[in-house]
Chains A and B, each alone.
Chain A
């Protein structure tokens, strides 16, 4: 390779990792010492502490399971540590990822002759911020000076778009080992734009494997007294071996219709079992269709969110090993009906795209060259390293030295020379250059002195690649701040182009006393689209501690909070107090651990709510069947979450995280359904309240109240159409308030309340007292003694268990 820049892209996958180098024209896959293009994401540490990575480590996964670890990508950003028994070491997931990256770096050095210092590493689009942060940390540990992160769907799209050269809307369906991402893209006039994306961080090839493991276990369990369970810790070793076998079988089934799983003397606790089971494509289809349907639901959700139909999508690019499974392709064809893009290597597409992205970001993988003053006068240049524009601009500034500057600059490439661009007094220039399409264009930079002689410059050449322009990557999930009212204040909306930075003013709800360490103000940063903060993922918190303050912050003071996300999805946050102090350290940037008891309790609570909703759905004839179907889906997911929670109890931390996330999602959906279920009841209540209010307000209301009631009635009609629970509740309150205001103007109001209360005397808490009050009240009514009547009525209602009347007249809280 010559002096042309080389761009390195790395796909750090759950199951396999890959690397690719782009030289400006072609992408070259990096080969391992075994000659393969894929490096299994597996790490082994033996008793001497020697680290083995990749295929060699994977071979020992079964026989030396205590010292081999795989699929740790989903644990990135958690506090989970992985133990290696023989060496006694305990490493974080990012430290293991760093070993994978070191191996890939070594492969690059072997193949291309240089140790890469910069790279672009891919991350799933819906990676939580702690996970992105952990990936950057892994790169640093591996020895990279600078890395940028790119979302996997964008990388795949870039690689696919680079070769496809077509325009219109298209989709990238990325089903990896552990995560699923789908992106909707648009290519128009050479600009590749991510319109939107969605996904599921806990859906991947691994889940297909577990389904097949469960199938085998079910078949093995038939005819046995004791069921063989995945969650049984005694079966852990056997399950691991079974999973490896199932993986191989799954791969074989892409080529043939049927295969066998053979594992003699597999030890399930005390029992030795000979596994000899035939598995067919139909078996896989029957077990895994539901998983594929889950991914299809995500695709349809994405299309709907962008206002698109599947028919408008021109093609789907399939990325990831599991997309080779016939069940996946078949189901996608049946449900979406979009043709697949052919001729692309789904296993390495992400790595290739990452390399292309490195080119667009001008991130040369080679270490930065030292400045050699003998080579010429230093100039600083800004230009698009990759562009779809045939006439991009190159902007430059001559370095500030006390020496003459060139008078003008021109650019030359093969067959073309630019006009002389004059250099200004400040030493700057802006030149428009022509590039040849679909290739790397090398330009020599030539300076001309005032006297017309050559003026040497450094760098003396640049390379601009003509291809695609990439729009700024969008933020995968909204980011905001949790408020004290459990509301989320969204700072950066989902889909906002990155980098993005937003600032808002908030009010401190408590005083933070200067010098007092116990006095802390937390600013929780959350990721998610829910209005309720507790449903969003907590990614970190800014803490303002009294011990760090130079002046107390009184309650009610303004605090200016800024959240910023860079192109790779890395978050930074800043809080500025009234006294001008700045706080920037984000604490607890970890995915929270999940105790088993918490999961179990959550599951119990959700089951209870689900059963209530089922009962309500059966009663509601109009929307019953639609709701029942939705509830059925939720029940299935809850069952799945229960299984994952059980697996988590048995030691599978990844399953526990998956369960945690599923339960939060189910909670949010149940919330929505509960609100919807309330609507018919609220609607009837609203109608009833309105008719009562109209009668009262027309007689006793003021003109303004009448006008307001008319407005409320009109807006109620709209709310009934929109079926917004919160809005209808607000309308009911409004109508009730108008009704109350008019009611108490009625001179006979207290008489009516008294009569109503008296009619319920039999349910009074203190019957003798209630009878006495009724007698007294009756007497007062006959006498026309209003004061006594009111006094008796008030006392009477405190004895009788009403709802709103009690609360109102008994002066308790709850006027709503």
Chain B
């Protein structure tokens, strides 16, 4: 019997070199893979337990690793290379996809490799492979319609949603040039549980978002994305976060920096991201209104390209308040009305007021997006806030009523559409309140909490959409905490129960949720 232990010393020097290179390559790949998998932050609570089969595969790999010199000694070099290739494909399919198929822009190869690849993608087929294929297509100069259609057709609409599903749709949207749709879907992945997609999908999501934000110049968003608790601590994100901390105008990395960031050697330095230092912002343009205020001045101010700030908004609203109450203007209009032989001054001023108020409502949206609050004594501003609130609450109620109706009729949408419906609902809800404490938030929560809970229970129990249901519960939980709601306990329980842990068979059928 030949010994299994390698007889390295018995090898010829050239062969020793080859074996050394071979060992180094396998070691690098192994280390790289392990490091990426362990880079998820610990406070997600995700335990990276490997499935049994994967462990077996790794054992075979290790055996091959140590058996290599034996084979070299016996001069079965061809077999060794073949085994190497097979191991690579079997154990590191994503690595092969990411570093070979995608750069070569071969979508069908990327799809096949990912689909073939082991336990990692077991629960995410065909979504993961489609995301990989779409990634290839997005790197092509111009993706053909046939290839895009082929990729779309691989998705199965009836499968329950996972984060990979969202990633796949997002990448397809990016291929079609619908970047805002892609951004919206990738951002929505952050609402999902970390376990609902393999790590490579999360990395894809965060890197896409961060590079997209950098392309738009939204460096605060880059920082936010890199600091997210689900974000993998990979060098690319760290580099981008680092760039966000630099002064404006110096936020472009060189090719060398980019190349180095893509190597697996840089250790994660979490300090800059987690330090909480604010992203330096460029100088902003403020609104300038000359006093005393005139109609021309108000019109000029309305066309001024000042940045949307709370202070500018207040000034603008107060300016229009004074114009709309101006007696001189009213008298002038009355004279003109007489000259025209008709025309109601009140009607004209009311129409003007409505125009301004509608615009102020949109401006409030922009200011709130910048995480500022809006307040003031201006009647126009108060009226705009009030009508905005009313509109959003009505919209929220309508959306909720539609969800109720579908639940009552037992009509579910395809998974991705169901998710998009929830996203639209979520968007409306989060638009309602300002960043600070606001009773609007409590009102909105009270309006929808129980019904949304029931809807999520229906999704989980009847439609097997556990991932969406879990996202809904996790959305409602902090809101319930904030409002001291009596439904906190139920939501918390539902959130825990709606996760299906694939590795623990005993918990595959959790106890029923409370609706």
* Contacts from A to B (Cβ < 8 Å): 188, 307, 484-485, 507, 510-511, 513-514, 550-552, 554-557, 578-579, 702, 704-705, 708, 711, 715, 730, 733-734, 737-738, 740-741, 744-745, 790, 794, 807-809, 811-816
Contact = CB atoms under 8 A, between A and B. Distances in A.
B414 to A, nearest CB: 6
A794 B148 CA distance: 53
Given A556-B423, A738-B443, A811-B450, 15 more contacts: A511-B413, A550-B145, A552-B152, A554-B169, A711-B386, A730-B393, A738-B439, A740-B446, A741-B446, A811-B487, A813-B451, A815-B447, A815-B450, A815-B451, A816-B447
A702 B443 CA distance: 13
Interface stretch (B12-20, B209-217, B394-402): B394-402
A807 B447 CA distance: 12
B438 A744 contact: no
B120 interface: no
Given A188-B341, A730-B393, A744-B484, A554 B416 contact: yes
B185 to A, nearest CB: 9
Contacts of B344: 307
A688 B51 CA distance: 62
Interface size, B (range):
35 or more
Given A550-B145, A554-B416, A704-B437, A812 B450 contact: yes
A815 B390 contact: no
A813 B405 CA distance: 11
Nearest to A745: B484
Contact of B442 (A550, A741, A808, A812): A741
B450 A813 contact: yes
B145 A551 contact: yes
B484 A811 contact: no
A453 B449 CA distance: 88
A537 B149 CA distance: 39
A513 B153 CA distance: 10
A131 B472 CA distance: 50
A348 B23 CA distance: 103
A809 B489 CA distance: 13
A555 B413 contact: yes
A737 B420 contact: no
Contact of B483 (A711, A741, A815): A741
Contacts of A705: 439, 442
B515 interface: yes
Contacts, number: 105
Nearest to A740: B446
Interface string B159-187: 00000000001000100101001000000
Contacts of B372: none
Nearest to A791: B489
A510 B417 contact: yes
A704 to B, nearest CB: 5
22 contacts: A188-B341, A510-B413, A514-B149, A551-B145, A554-B173, A555-B420, A555-B421, A557-B181, A579-B176, A704-B439, A705-B442, A734-B443, A737-B446, A741-B439, A741-B443, A744-B486, A809-B486, A811-B450, A811-B487, A814-B451, A815-B449, A816-B447
Contacts of B439: 702, 704-705, 708, 738, 741
B468 to A, nearest CB: 14
Nearest to A793: B486
A558 to B, nearest CB: 9
B181 A554 contact: yes
Contacts of A816: 397, 447
Interface in B341-379: 341, 344
Most buried by B among A307, A556, A733, A812: A556
B492 interface: no
A737 B443 contact: yes
Nearest to A810: B450
Contacts of B398: 485
Interface string B381-417: 0000010001001100110001010010000011011
B275 to A, nearest CB: 32
A511 B181 CA distance: 14
A90 B417 CA distance: 48
B437 A702 contact: yes
Contacts of A510: 413, 417
Nearest to B490: A811
A511 B402 contact: no
A815 B448 CA distance: 7
B514 interface: yes
A811 B413 contact: no
B253 interface: no
Nearest to A749: B486
Contacts of B386: 711, 715
Contacts of B446: 737, 740-741, 815
B181 A811 contact: no
Contacts of A514: 149, 152
Contacts of A741: 439, 442-443, 446, 483
Nearest to A579: B176
A807 B440 CA distance: 21
Contact of B402 (A484, A554, A556, A578): A484
A808 B451 CA distance: 10
Contacts of A811: 450, 453-454, 487, 490, 514-515
Interface in B457-515: 483-487, 490, 514-515
A579 B181 CA distance: 13
Contact of B178 (A555, A578, A708, A737): A578
Contacts of B152: 514, 552
Most buried by B among A511, A579, A815, A816: A815
A554 B149 CA distance: 13
List 4 tightest A-B contacts by C-beta distance, closest first.
Answer: A555-B417, A737-B443, A813-B451, A737-B446
A811 B494 CA distance: 13
Interface in B416-456: 416-417, 420-421, 423-424, 437-440, 442-443, 446-451, 453-454
A741 B439 CA distance: 9
Nearest to B347: A307
Nearest to A726: B394
Contacts of B178: 578
A704 B453 CA distance: 27
B416 A511 contact: yes
A613 B145 CA distance: 60
Given A551-B176, A744-B485, A556 B424 contact: yes
A809 B148 CA distance: 50
Contacts of B448: 815
A732 to B, nearest CB: 12
A813 B453 CA distance: 9
B469 to A, nearest CB: 15
A554 B515 CA distance: 30
A815 B396 CA distance: 13
Contacts of A513: 157
A713 to B, nearest CB: 14
A416 B302 CA distance: 52
B458 to A, nearest CB: 10
A77 B271 CA distance: 73
A776 to B, nearest CB: 18
B272 to A, nearest CB: 36
A549 to B, nearest CB: 11
A421 to B, nearest CB: 33
Contacts of A730: 390, 393-394
A709 to B, nearest CB: 9
Nearest to B341: A188
A45 B42 CA distance: 89
A189 B152 CA distance: 64
A813 B408 CA distance: 10
Contacts of B443: 733-734, 737-738, 741
Contacts of A809: 486
Contacts of A740: 446
Nearest to B419: A555
Interface string B233-263: 0000000000000000000000000000000
Contacts of B421: 555
